[in-house]
Structure 1
Amino acid sequence: MDWWNADWWNAGDYYIAREILQRGVAACFLIAFISAFNQFPALLGDHGLLPVARFVRRIRFRDSPSLFHWRYSDLLLRTLAVAGAVGAATLIIGLPQLGPPWLPMLLFLLLWAIDLSIVNVGQTFYSFGWESLLLEAGFVVAFLGSNEVAPPLVVMLFLRWLVFRLEFGAGMIKMRGGPEWRDLTALYFHHETQPMPNPVSWYVHHLPKWVHRGEVLGNHFAQLVVPFFLFAPQPVASVAAAVMILTQLWLVLTGNFAWLNWLTIVLACSAIDDRTFRTILPGLATERVASVSPLWFVIVVATVTVGLLVLSWWPLRNLFAHHQLMNASFNRYHLVNAYGAFGTVSRHRFEVVVEGSAAATPGADGWREYEFRGKPGDPKRMPRQFAPYHLRLDWLMWFLALGTPDTRWFEMLVVQLLAGDHTLLRMLRVNPFPDEPPRWIRARVFLYRFSTRQEHRADGVWWSRVEFAELVAPVSLARIGRRAS
């Protein structure tokens, strides 16, 4: 046997895990490209809220590599998104995996390059941790090979290191964050104040407080203790991965966090061996390969792994830094990143409600409310399930209500609503001015809370809201023009 095909190199018991990793990451890429096709032009396109053309004029290619430094158009964006979606679909089906190891490698690297080009010009609309997570995962799984070779052990171990950073980093952020995580009260509020509750969130919020304290304890165990066992011998590593998967499924059940939870579940499978999978699903068959890995493949994988290990120094140091960074990329290619979320949990939910008026005098005909697809609006509307799809505008509206200083995109949103921009309006759930745009727009901040069981039974409401403040006084295009001049 050649030295590079010894047991220390080939992960001979992880064929099923490889199938899940390659197809699962490809599925997340598919969702990301569909999201870009549907949303990018309205948010960042030629006539978007933050046009790419303006961004690339002030940012150098070396600081934010993207194909769109060469040229941007909505047609080119959509063409690349379709190409990425088609490539991802073939990987989900498993066609490239039937060929030589370089075929899925090149296809995953192509998906990574297309998505990197989108993310690096996506500005605030693409500033989420799961964008970097998908890019890192997509790059690493490219080197798992095809069905002709055994999965490289070093790649499987690096994927566990990715899961470790993802989970342990999130746990450390919480312990260094708000006191609600240390006194076990964070989940008293989180289900109500999270960015985008789903249909189950209301019911979970009304569970007894001892259940919520148990949720926090379970979270601390899963994120601060269990990750270390990912590197233990089997079956301990598989058990650790199973614990993480169960906690992620609870997050899937109770919230909308785009593809973050599903991608974490997929990546955790890197620690589950074939024997464990067959124990859980006895009818599951695995096809082992008899051929050896070609030397060129071993050299490429080993070289890439060494490079990734070098890049690991910065996120490793960050895990134990006093001022730990959350969802940070230490290089322009979004490889080997720092992760984490919800270092603090808000006790109150504020929502920005945007309204329009068609009268010459603002509000003389009453104010009509624009409704977004995922964020709370009409108190009688039940929260919806959208994840793993990512509603980028709705998430930014949540940050706006928290007082983010990044408001340029919202100023442009007001202008485009006054102009009746059809591309933007298609992203909303309800456009109260289908015939012609309003003359006036205003924005108010409301304090929302989940309705009580009694309020829900009596009035059929999921939310109760009271006005808190005025964010934008009534404004018209003429008034905006006078200010600009």
Structure 2
Amino acid sequence: MEWFTAPEYWMSRLVLQKALAVIYLVAFLGAALQFRALTGERGMLPVPRFVARVPFRQAPSVFHLHYSDRFFAAWAWTGCAVSVALIAGLDGQLPLWGGMLLWLVPWVLYLSIVNVGQTWYSFGWESLLLETGFLAVFLGNDEVAPPVVVLFLLRWILFRVEFGAGLIKMRGDECWRKLTCLYHHHETQPMPGPLSWFFHHLPKPLHRVEVAANHFTQLVVPVLLFTPQPVATAAAALMILTQLWLILSGNFSWLNWITIVLALSALELPGTAPDVPAAPLWYKVVVFAVAALLVTLSYHPVRNMISRRQVMNRSFDPLHLVNTYGAFGSVSRVRYEVVVEGTADAGPHEDSDWREYEFKGKPGDPRHWPRQFAPYHLRLDWMMWFAALSPAYAGSWFGALVERLLENDRDTLRLLRRSPFPLDAPPRYVRARLFRYRYTTWQELRETGACWERTYVREFLPPTRLDSVAHKS
């Protein structure tokens, strides 16, 4: 048996590659369907404006060379097509070098999108997809067994994802150390799912057990990924079960799904590997060169991970080759939501006919039960959650959102669940108000049918007309 490869991971590699290609497809599909309103030529944060002030070396992207909405759409849909080809197994029909080049294509395509995505693409799972996708280039295809070095580098990513998240919890909010964070988390998380209400109402002792189990999975189990089998498989399986629990409890885009993909690198799945020749010398040289590069670049995330001032979700190079991760270092005790309303009345009075815009994922109408969207990423809905935490998160784009609503911009309205105004009759004024939301009790749910109860807090944005927004911009 050749020392460079691990034939026993043949099936694990196959499932890992298919699953990663599906996540690529979801990411490109989201980019294709949402970009015009977010980063298009008339978007809230236009790409042309960004590339005019940020040099290529800081954010490498094809869109520094050329940008138009049509070109971006073609770029994103090309990513969808390549992802489908990878799901169908086209990489396995090509020579080894051809399969590697095919896996390189979605990485290059998505890197160009992320690097000009600005606030809308500032989430940790964007870098996680790029870091994982880059390593997938070197996993090989049907001409060679999975290389051990690449499998261990994938586990190294998983270790940093989980261990980093565990450390930042222990260093952050005291409720993690007191095992009480889940008293609040399911209610205050960015985008609740259809089962989140029920998770919130689990007995508090069970919440404490959940937190303790989370600490064990994130601070102890990751070390076992680098132990011999079957211990590594058991560790990976436990991580996968934990991620499935998180998937049931909320909408976290593809964060949980790609963590499961990474765990497959340590999982020995049953299946007979075909007889394949030894890996060619050039392939070994390339793999070891890439491994040396990534190990060297790992200095910065390791230094961050052991630092008392650990930060979450940061890239240390413009190619997102090695990054640091983490989530929920602090947990909100109270949920706030920004409710956006419009009126067609001539004057913006309190007794005017104010009609509420409904978003697809974020809480709005107290009777509207949350839906499952993950792994699809509703970028505007996520940023609305941040806006409710602090207006500073909305400073760069919220005014543009209001302007597009006052114009009844079709691309922006497609990001919403429902607009209360017909396309040919836009509102005269739009305002935003801050509400406090809480889950209803079992009794309240039976009596009212509402899963949320909300209370007005304060004005977030006063009634605004189109000419006043245009003047400010």
Q: Which TM bucket (shorter chain)?
A: over 0.9
Q: Is 1:352 aligned with 2:338? A: yes
**Which among 398, 410, 433 is matched to residue 422 of structure 1?**
410
Distance 1:146 1:481, change over 3 A: closer
Aligned partners of 1:136 and 1:334 also within 8 Å: yes
2:308 corresponds in structure 1 to: 322
2:187 aligned partner, one-letter code: E
Q: Distance in 1 between matches of 2:472 and 2:26?
A: 41
CA distance in structure 2 between the partners assigned to 1:468 and 1:164 by the alignment: 42
Alpha-carbon deviations, 1:216-265, whole Å to 9, x = none? 00100000000000000000000000110000000011110011101100
Alignment of 1:61-460 (within 5 A): 61-273=56-268, 277-278=269-270, 285-363=271-349, 365-406=352-393, 407-434=395-422, 435-460=424-449
Q: What letter is aligned with 1:215?
A: E
CA contact (8 A) 2:8 2:273 kept: no
**Aligned partners of 1:98 and 1:148 also within 8 Å:** no
Q: Tell me, which stretches of 5 or more residues in structure 1 are unaligned?
A: 279-284
SS in 1 for 2:220: helix
CA displacement at 1:482 relative to structure 2: 5.1
CA–CA distance in structure 2, aligned partners of residues 341 and 365 of structure 1: 41
Deviates more, 1:385-394 or 1:408-417: 408-417
Look up the equivalent residue of 1:254 and give its one-letter code: S
TM-score when normalising by structure 1: 0.95
SS at 2:403 equivalent: helix
Confirm whether residue 479 of structure 1 aligns to residue 468 of structure 2: yes
CA distance in 1, matches of 2:224, 2:471: 63
The answer to whether the 8 Å contact 2:367/2:452 transfers is: yes
- How far apart, in 2, do the equivalents of 1:302 and 1:471 lie? 54
Amino acid aligned to 2:431: R
**Is contact 1:149–1:289 with CA below 8 Å preserved after alignment?**
no
CA distance in 1: counterparts of 2:362 and 2:334, whole angstroms: 15
Q: C-alpha deviations, 1:116-164, integer Å up to 9, x for none? A: 0000000000000000000000000110111110111000000000000
Shift of 1:12: 2.0
Does the aligned pair in 2 maintain the 1:379–1:463 contact within 8 Å? yes
Q: CA deviation at 1:197?
A: 0.3
- Map Cα deviations across residues 183-232 of structure 1 (whole Å, 9 max, x no partner): 00000000000000001000110010001001100100000000000000
CA deviation string 1:457-478 (max 9, x = no partner): 0010010000011011111123
Secondary structure of the 1:343 match is coil
Offset of residue 318 of structure 1 = 1.1
d(CA) in 2 for partners of 1:462, 1:350: 15
Check the 8 A contact 1:97/1:103 in 2, yes or no: no
Q: How many residues align?
A: 470
Separation in structure 1 between the aligned mates of residue 291 and residue 462 of structure 2, nearest angstrom:
55
Name structure 2 gaps, 5 residues minimum: none
Moved over 6 A (4+): none
Partner of 1:468 in structure 2? Answer: 457
Deviation at 1:480, TM superposition (A): 3.1
| 2: CA distance, partners of 1:80 / 1:483 | 33
Q: CA deviation at 1:38?
A: 0.3
Q: What is the CA-CA distance between 1:287 and the residue it aligns to?
A: 3.1
SS at match of 1:31: helix
Quote how far apart the aligned CAs of 1:180 are: 0.7
Aligned equivalents of 1:307, 1:119: Cα separation in 2: 22
Q: Which residue of 2 aligns with 1:26?
A: 21
Q: CA deviation at 1:270?
A: 0.4
CA contact (8 A) 2:36 2:43 kept: yes
Let me know the Cα RMSD of the aligned residues.
Answer: 1.1
Shift of 1:481: 4.5
Q: Distance in 1 between matches of 2:14 and 2:216?
A: 29
Q: Indicate conservation of the 8 Å contact 1:327/1:338, yes or no.
A: yes
- Identity, % of aligned positions: 56
Contact 1:91 1:104 in 2 (8 A): no
Structure 2 length normalisation: TM-score?
0.98
2:2 touches 2:278 (CA, 8 Å); kept in 1? Answer: no
Q: 1:199 to 1:343 in 2, by over 3 A?
A: same
Counterpart residue number, 2:51: 56
Q: Which amino acid counterpart does residue 462 of structure 2 have in structure 1?
A: A
**Residues 89-98 or 21-30, more deviating:** 89-98
Write the distance in 1 (CA, Å) between the matches of 2:17 and 2:404: 41
